[in-house]
Amino acid sequence: LCKHAISATMLALLALTAPSFSAHSAVPASRVAHTASPRSRPVLASFDHSVAIEESKAMRLKHLEEQAMYALKVSCDKFDKPVFPNALIAGDVVITHLLDRLGYLSSGKAQIMVVDTFHLFPETMEFLREIEKHYGFEAKVFCAEGVPVGDKKAFDAKYGANLWKEDIEQYDKVCKVEPFQRGLKELGTDCMINGRTRWQGFERAWIDLFENAPIGGGLAKCNPLAYWTLEDTFDYIAKYQVPHHPLHAKGYPSIGDAKDTIPIPEDGSVRFVDFKFEGDKTKWLDYASERKGRFVGLANKDGSTKTECGIHVAGAERTFDRDLWDKSNKVINLETPEKALEVTKKGEQSVLVVYAPWCPHCQAMEENYDSLASTLSVPVYKFRGDEQREFVQANLNTQSFPTINVVKKDGSVVKYESEDRSVEAMAKFVEEMA
C-alpha cells in the first residue's frame, strides 16, 4: 500500500490496533530491552474519532450516490418512458439533482410529473417553478379530472372546497390517485421513479431498488434512494447545495397538503437553514420520523391513523385505459344526465350504479355487478359520475364511488348502503325494494 494513501486517521487506527506483548510473552531479550527504551518507543498520535466518523459518512454517501445513479441509469437507459412523480420533498430534490447530473433532464429522457391537489402550500408550486428554471426542464402537472391546472375556484365548484373534510378517501381518489394514474397513462410510463425509502417507516421497510408494480402490463418501479436514511438525504443536499423546499427552513421535515402538514416539533425549533441543521436534528432524523408531520388529524374509515395518501399503496399505479362494463351485454350505459333522469320517470323498477372507472372499489365490483345484471329481470344501468358530480350528488344519492341505487316504480331513488357487494346481497336488496 502506498504510504501516501494512508491518512492520519488510518495511521492512528493501525497504531491503536497493533499487537502488544505482556511481560510473559516469548520475546527475545534484545527486543524486550529495545521496546522498553523510552527513547525508541513510538509516540501514538491522539485519535480523533469525529474525523473517522466524518470520513466513514463520506464513504457511505459516495456509495449511496453511486448506487442511486446506477438505478437511475437502468431506469432511463433500459426503459423507453421513465417518469418521475415529484413531490418536491427532500428525497425528491435529490433525485432531481441526480437526474440532472446524468443528463436525463436536459435530454428529456426522464419526464417529471407533479400532482397538484389544490391544497398544497403556496410555496410548493412556487418552488417547482424555481427548480424548473434552475435545471431547465418543464414538469407535467396533473390535477383533479375536468379542472384546469391551477384553477382552485373551478375545483371548488366541481368537487366542493370541503371534500377532504366530508370524505378523505374520496378526496385522495379525486385529488391524488386519479390524477396520478392519469398522468402515468398519458405520459406512457413504463418505469416509475420515486423517492420512497426503507427509513420512512414499516410500510416501506422492505422495498428494494427495483420492483414490479402489481399491474397486468408489469410497470417497473425504481426506488433509487431505497437504502438511504433521511440524514443521508440532507447530507447530500448540503454537500452539493441542492435546491430544496423553502419550508425545511421553517421546521417542516416533509411537505404535503397545507391542511394536514405541521412542523416537527410543532414549535418549529428544528430547521434546515443554509444547508445546516438548527436545533435537535434527531427529531427529524430518527427512524420513521420524516413523515410524522404528515396527515395530521386524519383517519381512515376504519378508524386507523392515516399514513398514506393512496398513491403509494399496492396497485395505485394501475392505469385504467377503458371504461367499466364496456363489453357487458347486460349493463346499460346512460351517457347523459338527461338519460339518467329518464330512467327515474319510466315507472319501472331498475338498478343504477354511479361509478368512476379509475376508482378501485368500482373496478373490484365490475364482475359482480355484471353478474347481477344477468341474474335480475329488471334493467341494470351504469352512469359515470365523476364527470357529473353536481348532478349525481343532487339526483342520485352520490357522495362517493361506487353508489348503487334502486329506482322504484314511483321514481324514488333508494341507495344501497351496504359495503357487501356480492351478487346475493345486492339481489336481495333489489327484491326488498320491489
Which whole number is the average pLDDT over 76-85? 96
- Phi/psi for 108 (5° steps) reads 80, 5
| pLDDT band for position 43 (cuts 50, 70, 90) | low
Query: In the prediction, which pLDDT does 10 show?
Result: 40
Q: In the structure grid, which three cell numbers stand for residue 29, read together?
A: 531479550
| pLDDT band for position 47 (cuts 50, 70, 90) | confident
State yes or no: pLDDT of 2 exceeds 60. no
Query: pLDDT of 92-126, one tens digit each?
Result: 999 999 999 999 999 999 999 999 999 999 999 99
| pLDDT band for position 321 (cuts 50, 70, 90) | low
Query: In the prediction, which pLDDT does 216 show?
Result: 43
CA–CA gap between residue 329 and residue 321 (Å, rounded): 20
Query: pLDDT of 16-27, one tens digit each?
Result: 334 443 334 444
What pTM, to 2 d.p., does this model score?
0.67
CA–CA gap between residue 218 and residue 310 (Å, rounded): 19
Which whole number is the average pLDDT over 269-296? 92
State yes or no: pLDDT of 188 exceeds 50. yes
DSSP labels, 147-171 = S-TT-HHHHHHHH-TTHHHH-HHHH
Query: pLDDT of 344-390, one tens digit each?
Result: 999 999 999 999 887 778 988 999 999 999 999 999 999 999 878 88
Query: In the prediction, which pLDDT does 20 show?
Result: 40
Average pLDDT, whole number, for the chain?
86
DSSP state of 287: T
Strand order in the sheet with 350-355: 331-333, 380-384, 350-355, 403-407, 413-415
* Buried/exposed 182-205: b ≥16 CB within 10 Å, e otherwise: bbbeebebbbbbbbbbbbbbeebe
Query: In the prediction, which pLDDT does 35 show?
Result: 46
Q: To which H or E segment does residue 44 belong? A: none
- CB of 317 closer than 8 Å to CB of 215: yes
Answer whether the bond into residue 243 is a cis peptide, omega within 30°: no
CA–CA gap between residue 303 and residue 205 (Å, rounded): 23
Is the pLDDT higher at 422 or at 47?
A: 422
Query: pLDDT of 153-164, one tens digit each?
Result: 999 988 888 888
Residues contacting residue 19 through CB under 8 Å, at least 6 positions apart: none
User: Residue 383 forms beta bridges with which residues?
Assistant: 354
